[in-house]
Amino acid sequence: MTAAETDEQTYLVVLNDELQYSIWRADADVPAGWRAEGTSGTKEACLAHIDRVWTDMRPLSLRQRMDASS
């Protein structure tokens, strides 16, 4: 069995000010600069959620600059 198969931790989907996503263990404090997005569950469920919602990998500041120059 792999570590992923035995991982019974609960994770949070977290988001930073640049609208970049990550996961963080639910039993740990969310690091500075990040906030809980509202989704929690297994690592696999959280990563699947991120795959669905994070459709533009560019940081928000870059998207805004590119939109302004269009």
Q: Which domain holds residue 40?
A: 3-68
CATH of the domain at 42: 3.90.820.10
Sign of CA dihedral 38, 42, 45, 49: positive
Residue 9 banded pLDDT, cuts 50, 70, 90: very high
- Residue 2's pLDDT is 61
Residue 4 banded pLDDT, cuts 50, 70, 90: low
- R_g (Cα) of the chain, nearest Å: 14
pLDDT tens per residue, range 34-49:
999 999 999 999 999 9
Judge contact between 41 and 23, C-beta under 8 A: no
Q: How many domains does the chain have?
A: 1
pTM of this prediction?
A: 0.80
